[in-house]
Amino acid sequence: MIFDVSHLKNSEQGVSLTNKMGKYLFIGCFPGPYEMGMANLGYQTVLKTVFDCPDWRVERLFSNTGIRTFDKNLSILEADIVGFTLDFEIEIFTLVRLLQDSGLNVYAKERQESQPLVLVGGPLAALNPEIIAPFTDIVFVGECEESLAYLLAAWEEAKNLGLSRKEVLLYLSRFPGVYVPQFYYPKVKGSFFEGFNKESIVPERVHRQWADISRFEICSHIYSPQSYFKNMGLMEINRGCSYRCRFCVGGVIYRPLRQRPMEMIINIINYLKKYTSQLGIMGSDVLSHPQWEDIMKYAIKNSLTVNFSSLSALTLSRHREYLSYLVKCGVKTLTLAPESGKVETRQFFGKGLDDETWVDLIQNIFELGIPKVKLYFIIGKTTHAADQDLDFLSKLCRQTDSNHRLAVSYSFLIPKPHTQMENLTSLSFLEWKKDKEIFEAGLKKLKIRYSGESLRTAWLELLLARADRLIAQEIPQLLKQNNSLAFNPWKIALQKIGRDFQEWPRHPWESDEYPWSIIDNEKDVG
């Protein structure tokens, strides 16, 4: 099937990938639609990094624009390297499906000498690369701004030496941040993970890499009015977070907290305002920037509207003067994350504001003229049921008279690798279901608009988050049956390897070592 993407191409501004020639071809695959890919700063950064490498040209591929490249309609098989940026576990299905449809062998060990290497990076690579190990030639762990260019140069060196495919992979395996799964052999007995046997030449553990962000402008290098955020230009002013919430992935893989210099931020704003009057400032802890007020003043001076993915309620409660800047920058919806309605749970999570402070803060927000507040919640918690979250929301509605101005988004508590909750025993599927039903019924009664994560998808995310290769290798067959989200095929697949679909995901590993122990996220973070 031929997809007509000319209207999307014609609407783009900024960096033109088609104007670049190069000896080698890198195809950057995004595991989602064009609209989401062009609103993803990680994906845009990969494209720009490869584009800046002298001998490389880069093509894009999205889940909704066919199995050939977006820019020049090329096959994946024409690439030298096929790169995937993966944020979430469920995106593994898109990766595998694309490999199946393209004609490239799904399993890395079965690929032919002439076929492209499959490179996977992104947050998922730093959390648990074992769930993508069967399909991946190279996993890169860390931030790509500096390391990806060096990795591509190392690949060029290896090819120029006339090395075989296996020799190239061995050559790259010594590169910092590179994990080549086929040289590691996990030892698993039932629910006990006993570590890895490995080739002698590869490192014991793979150390996450990070970039000096003061050297790189991270923004929408390709501006598309058709992206998910419509006419918004995206930018990153800092990376990392000053808080250490127990459940949070970002607090692990993006630390330490680093700030971009003001001069660079002004350059980015000046670049983006050529295309749009709307800025989207991204980051886990944007309010921590020491010149945050100056950034807002510059945006106001240039008549720019500013939006944020979410803001720290703790910081806003301490710096109420920040709210006036949000009003002046045209913020219409302010997104905050209490996560729980029980103050003890919030404190345990690392979200330590009491109920009274929350009421006062939200009242203050509405009084200053921001029309709506969106609140993130986690349900399926082991500490208390959803009815206590509803009690908290009911109090907010009563004391701020604002149920019609509140919106709620919820997800399930999924213990992720490398977080402080990685060995938590989760609630059962039925307990999750009950919590979801209680929470949604209560929100309807309070007349609060809401959106939430699919129960079925969340359970598979729980399964995959802490899974290993034995589970991962079943995915291609499940996809062939078109049953990636159906539970019965998953039950059969897990039964084959001696695991229970309902119980094993709750606390899969009985040993003190986990499959993701191969990754070291702690090196040099200070």
| Per-domain boundaries in the chain | 6-207, 215-461
For 394-431, give the DSSP string: HHHHHHHT-GGGEEEEEEE--PPTTSTTTTPPPPPHHH
- The hierarchical CATH code for the domain 6-207 is 3.40.50.280
Please name the residues in contact with 308: beta carbons below 8 A apart, sequence gap of 6 or more. Answer: 280, 281, 282, 286, 331, 334, 335
Mean pLDDT of the chain: 93
Residue 73: pLDDT over 90: yes
- Per DSSP, helices labelled H in 203-256 are 250-253
Please name the residues in contact with 198: beta carbons below 8 A apart, sequence gap of 6 or more. Answer: 183, 184, 185, 204
At 2, the pLDDT band (50, 70, 90 cuts) reads low
Task: Calculate mean pLDDT across residues 444-453.
Answer: 95
The residue among 250, 184, 31, 213 whose CA lies nearest residue 120 is: 31
Q: Kindly report the number of other CB atoms within 10 A of residue 321's CB atom.
A: 9
Q: Tens digits of per-residue pLDDT, 286-307?
A: 999 999 999 999 999 999 999 9
The share of the chain scoring above pLDDT 90, in percent, equals: 83
CA distances from 262 to 90, 214, 273, 296, 330 (A): 37, 10, 16, 11, 22
Q: Tens digits of per-residue pLDDT, 144-193?
A: 999 999 999 999 999 999 999 999 999 999 999 999 999 999 999 888 99
Task: Calculate mean pLDDT across residues 401-419.
Answer: 92
pLDDT reported for residue 525: 41
Residue 524: pLDDT over 70: no
* Site of tokens 């992104």: 122
3.80.30.20, 3.90.650.10, 3.40.390.10, 2.60.40.10: CATH of 215-461:
3.80.30.20
At 522, the pLDDT band (50, 70, 90 cuts) reads confident
